[in-house]
Amino acid sequence: MIVLGIILLVVGFVAGISILWTIGIILLVIGAILWLLGSVGHAVGGRRHYW
């Protein structure tokens, strides 16, 4: 999810499409939150680790 967010950020920036930029930021933040929760030991979506 983090990688997809970065790809959308780059494509949105290069193409000048603001909706891709916004979706990329949202995916990047959600991916970072899930990664942080998984790394501290909380179960995310029924899984002990999320990566």
pLDDT tens for each residue of 1-51:
888 888 888 898 898 888 988 898 999 999 888 888 777 776 666 666 555
Residue with tokens 């959600």: 30
> What is the dihedral angle through the alpha carbons of 19, 20, 24, 30, rounded to the nearest 10 degrees?
50
Contact 1, 13 (CB under 8 A): no
pLDDT at 46: 64
The pLDDT score that the predictor gives to residue 29 is 92
